[in-house]
Amino acid sequence: MSKLIKDGFPYVLYTKQTYTSIEMIKRSEEFSQWMETRRTVRDFSKRTIEPEVIENLIRTASAAPSGAHKQPWTFCVVKDPEIKKQIRLAAEAEEKESYENRMSDEWIDDLKPLGTDWHKPFLEIAPYLIVVFKRSYEFDHNGKKHQNYYVTESCGIACGFLLAAIHHAGLVALTHTPSPMNFLTGILQRPANEKPFLLIPVGYPADECWVPDLKRKPLSDICVWI
Ligand code: IYR
């Protein structure tokens, strides 16, 4: 029997994997090496993607764990060139102000190896923008307000799943955080319980796509065993 009721709630039997230690080492190593090849990309091709792929990516993201399983997120998929243009113009206005007046000299210096500036052409070039909104609270059908929990952590994990799914599909993405990004609420007409969390252009990389030659920290710098 693979279903039961515990304390009045339904349970299903967890499907265990049965890898041997050898298989586990191989799988974990291969996945690590695969994820090592993921890069943030800023130069996109205009080439389009089947909407079905985007739906699968979002389904994967929504399989992330979340506080009290509230799944406190909305993935807003923007394909319309007019809306993408509005987002680009609003993002560039904020980013110009940030780069010229709001960010510290140290911050500007830290970004130099990445070659970023306030110009954001990728917001129009990438075939899809996935705008992730976090939902701090919900209203039920009686209009009663209910809090969500660990909303930032939950959305962060879901975005991690999304980025892994994008890479697995052979596509590329950019985790873009125009700041402030409340203009997205207005342009995308989202309700008051949703706040913009991350803007993720998704697509194919440009024909010739260069990325900064970044090195990742060795395990000895990021991991301690107690
Ligand atoms: N949001 C700006 C600046 C920026 C900040 C960090 I921290 C980055 O890692 C990259 C960019 C922008 O998108 O250009």
Q: Is the CB of 116 under 6 A from ligand 1?
A: yes
Residue 1: band (very low, low, confident or very high) from pLDDT cuts 50, 70, 90: low
Q: Is the CB of 180 under 6 A from ligand 1?
A: no
The answer to the question of residue 77 being in a domain is yes
Structure confidence by residue, pLDDT tens digits, 114-154: 999 999 999 999 999 999 999 999 999 999 999 999 999 99
Q: Is the CB of 179 under 6 A from ligand 1?
A: yes
Closest CA to 176 of 154, 202, 215: 202
Q: Is the CB of 95 under 6 A from ligand 1?
A: yes
The answer to the question of residue 225 being in a domain is no
Q: Is the CB of 176 under 6 A from ligand 1?
A: yes
Q: Report pLDDT for 117.
A: 96
CATH number for the domain harbouring residue 46: 3.40.109.10
Span from the CA of 177 to the centroid of ligand 1 (angstroms): 6
Q: Among 103, 110, 116, which is best to mutate for testing ligand 1, by the most ligand atoms less than 8 A from CB?
A: 116
The answer to the question of residue 133 being in a domain is yes
Mean pLDDT within 2-13? 95
**What is the extent of the structural domain holding 58?**
41-210
- Which structure tokens are listed for 59? 């389904």
The answer to the question of residue 1 being in a domain is no
Q: Report pLDDT for 144.
A: 96
The answer to the question of residue 222 being in a domain is no
Rg of the chain, C-alpha, whole Å? 20
Closest CA to 130 of 187, 71, 174, 68: 174
Q: Is the CB of 175 under 6 A from ligand 1?
A: no
Percent of the chain residues topping a pLDDT of 70: 100
Identify whether the C-beta of residue 171 lies closer than 8 Å to the C-beta of residue 203: yes
Structure confidence by residue, pLDDT tens digits, 47-101: 999 999 999 999 999 999 999 999 999 999 999 999 999 999 999 999 999 999 9
Is 0.85 topped by the overall pTM? Answer: yes
Domain count, the chain: 1
The answer to the question of residue 15 being in a domain is no
Structure confidence by residue, pLDDT tens digits, 169-199: 999 999 999 999 999 999 999 999 999 999 9
Identify whether the C-beta of residue 45 lies closer than 8 Å to the C-beta of residue 205: yes
The answer to the question of residue 180 being in a domain is yes
The answer to the question of residue 181 being in a domain is yes
Residue 2: band (very low, low, confident or very high) from pLDDT cuts 50, 70, 90: confident
Q: Among 111, 174, 183, which is best to mutate for testing ligand 1, by the most ligand atoms less than 8 A from CB?
A: 111
